[in-house]
Amino acid sequence: MSGIIPGKGASASEHKSTFKDATTSGNTQVVAAVANRKIRVISGVVGPVGTAINVKFQSSTTDISSTANCALNGGWANNASPGFLFETAEGEALNVNLSGNANVPVSIVYIEV
């Protein structure tokens, strides 16, 4: 997926996408920190999960989303285009945080602003 959305100042940022398979309790980095930029999530898919588990997103270790209570074989999908779902603090990584050990696939579309 590609497109241009206004970014920080007079610059623009291109849509990017990534995925991770989070498997352990606590944080798994989804997108590495980018100096002087925020990671703004436009859409995301979590799951399906192999066991009931709680999932949330964090800017480093600070919560930036509510906790999704995913049931067995469940998950969530959300799209906020042309807006955004959540964003990290400037210069911080985007992490997914699991309440326990489970295989949790995570896919997102984001921009750097």
At 75, which CATH number? 2.60.120.340
> What pLDDT, on the 0 to 100 scale, is given for residue 81?
75
What range defines the domain where residue 83 resides? 4-112
pTM of the model: 0.87
User: Smallest Cα–Cα separation from 60: which of 26, 83, 84, 85?
Assistant: 26
The helix, strand and coil proportions of the chain, stated in percent and rounded to the nearest 5, come to: 0, 50, 50
**Percent of the chain scored above 90 by pLDDT?**
84
How many distinct structural domains can be found in the chain? 1
Separation between Cα atoms, residue 49 and residue 62, nearest integer Å: 23
- Tell me how far apart the alpha carbons of residues 110 and 59 are, in angstroms, rounded to a whole number: 14
**What's the pLDDT tens digit per position in 48-76?**
998 999 999 999 999 999 999 999 999 99
Q: Confidence band (pLDDT; 50, 70, 90) for 12?
A: low
Segment 81-86 shows an average pLDDT of 89
Average pLDDT over residues 17-30: 96
